[in-house]
Amino acid sequence: MQKPTLSFWQMWNLSFGFFGVQIAYALQSANISRIFATLGADPHTLSFFWVLPPLMGMIVQPIVGSLSDKTWCKWGRRKPYLYVGAIVAIIVMALLPNAGSFNMTVKAALAFGAVMLMLLDTSINMAMQPFKMMVGDMVNEEQKTKAYSIQSLLCNAGSLVGYLFPYIFTWVGISNVAPEGVVPPSVTWSFYIGAAILILCVLYTGAKVKEWNPEEYAKYNNITKEEESDKSNLLTLLLHAPKAFWQIGLVQFFCWFAFLYMWTYTTGGIAENITIWNTTNTASAEYQAAGDWTGVLFAVQAIGSILWAVVLPMFRKTKVAYSLSLVLGAVGFISTYFIHDQYMLFVSFLLIGCAWAAMLALPFAMLTNSLSGKSLGSYMGLFNCTICLPQIVASLVGGFLLTMFGGDVVDGVQTGQIVMLVVAGVALLLAALAVFGISTKRHE
C-alpha cells in the first residue's frame, strides 16, 4: 500500500528536532580543533582527536538502527533513542568546554576532552539517526527528496546558529580570550545555550510526531508476516545489501574524507593564510579571532546549503544534481588556498555549502528508495559507517599528509595547514565522478 502523502508541516515536524541536534553538531565541528589546540594539542596530532567521533558512530549507529527496528513501545519506535541521545548530549555539552578549567595537567585535560568528545559525538549520533529513520519510515518515494531537503534546510539552519554563537557572544561582550590552556567563555557559553535549544527542539518533535504502530508500519511498507519474523543480523544484512548501498558509500567516502579536513584545519589554515592574522600562535588574540571567523565561515557554508537545498528538488536527474553540487564544493575548497582576504572566503564557503546540502539530502533519498521497508533502520545504521569510516581514515593520515604537503615547522607548529583544504577539494572531485556509478534499482 502506498504511504500517505504528507503536508509540508508534517514533514517539517518530522525533522524539526534536527535543528537543535545540528546546533550541537555545529558547535562540535567548528570548535573541537580550536578547543584542543587551546588545551595544547600539536597540529600533527590534532586530526587524531577526530578519530573518536566517527569510531563511536560506527559502533553506535548500526546498534541503534537494529534495535529501533524491533522497538515498539508507547513512546514510539525511533523516538526513545532520540530522547536518550539528547539527554546525554546536553550533559556532555556542559562539561566538554570546561576541560581546561579543572586545574589538570595538559595531558589530563586533553584526555578528559577526548573522552567528552567521544561521548558527545555518540549522543549526537544517537539523537540524529532517528530523524533520518522516521523520514524513511513515514514518507513515500515521491516525497522523500523533498522531505530530506526540508531536513537539510533545518539541519543547515541549526548549523548557522551553532557556528555563529561564539562570534555573537564575543560581539555582545563575553570574553573571547582566557588564560593559556583554558577555553574562552564565548565558546563555553555557546555550548551551554546550544544544549538548552537542543532539548527544546527534541521535545517539540516528540510532541508533534506520532509514529505508526506495527500494523500500520507493516501495511504501508508492504512487509509480510514472514519478513516481520525474519531475524537477519547486521552481518547478513550487510552481505545482502543492494548495489546502491556500496555505490553511494564510495561517494560518501570521498565526501566525508574532505569535510573532516575542513573541520580539522580551517582555523589553523586561515589563521596563517589570511593577512590580518598571519599567526600560528594558538594563545594569541589573532588565533582566537580566526577561530571565531571559522564559525562565521561555517555559517556562510550553512547559508549556501540552505539556498542550495531549495534548488536541489528542481533538478530532474538526482545524479546530475549530486555530482554538480560536489564539483561546486571542490572549487570552494581549492579556492581557499589562493585567498588572503577574510571576506573573500565567503565565496569559497558558499560553494562548499552546495556540496554539504547535497550530502545531507540526496544519499539518504537514493538509499531509502532502493530499499524495502524491512530492516530500514538497520540499513540506515550500517550506512552511517560510510560516513564514519572515511573520517577515521582521514584522521589517521592527516598528520602524514600535512607533513608531506604543508610548509615548514615554525616554533614547533606545522605551517601550511591551508593545503589540507586543497586535499579536501580533490577528494570531492573524486566523489563527483563516483556519483555516476550509482544504481537506482530498488532492492526487495
- What are the distances in angstroms from CA 12 to CA 69, 147, 205, 241, 263? 23, 8, 9, 30, 28
Give CA angle at 392 (358, 368), nearest 5°: 40
Query: How far apart are alpha carbons 75 and 77 in whole angstroms?
Result: 7
Of the candidates 258, 269, 259, the one whose C-alpha atom is nearest the C-alpha of residue 294 is 269
Say what percent of the chain tops pLDDT 70: 88
pLDDT digits (tens, 9 = 90+) for 333-346: 999 989 889 999 99
Per-residue confidence (pLDDT) for residue 443, from 0 to 100: 46
Per-residue pLDDT reduced to its tens digit, 288-304: 888 888 888 988 988 89
Higher-scoring residue by pLDDT: 284, 355: 355
Q: What pLDDT, on a 0 to 100 scale, did the predictor assign at position 408?
A: 62
Cα 372 from Cα 350, distance rounded (Å): 36
- CB neighbours of residue 154 within 10 Å: 25
Q: pLDDT-based confidence at 444, cuts 50/70/90?
A: very low
* Residue 227 pLDDT > 60: no
Kindly report the CATH class assigned to 8-223+232-437: mainly alpha
Which helix H or strand E contains 177, and what residues bound it?
Answer: none
pLDDT at 409: 57
What's the confidence (pLDDT) of residue 258? 93
Label residue 441 by pLDDT band (50, 70, 90): low
- Decide if 392 contacts 239 (C-beta within 8 A): no
139-148, 207-216, 309-318: range with highest mean pLDDT: 309-318
pLDDT tens, position by position, 31-63: 877 788 777 777 667 667 777 777 777 777 777
Q: How confident is the model at residue 350 (pLDDT cuts 50, 70, 90)?
A: very high
Residues 333 and 293: their CA atoms lie apart, in Å, by: 16
Q: What integer pLDDT is reported at residue 66 of this predicted model?
A: 72
Residues for the chain: how many in total?
444
44 versus 245: the higher-pLDDT residue is 245
Given a cut of 80, whether residue 249 has pLDDT beyond it is yes
Average pLDDT over residues 365-388: 70
More confident residue, 129 or 415: 129
Confidence of residue 124 (pLDDT cuts 50, 70, 90): confident
Per DSSP, the three-state class of 27 is helix
Cα angle, residue 204 at apex, residues 199 and 210 outer, rounded to 5°: 125
Of these ranges, 97-106, 411-420, 423-432, the one predicted with the greatest mean pLDDT is 423-432
* Confidence grade of residue 255 (pLDDT, cut at 50, 70, 90): very high
Q: What percent of the chain has pLDDT over 90?
A: 15
In DSSP terms, 76 is beta-bridged to 73
pTM: 0.70
Confidence at residue 377, expressed as pLDDT on a 0 to 100 scale: 64
Residue-range domain boundaries for the chain: 8-223+232-437
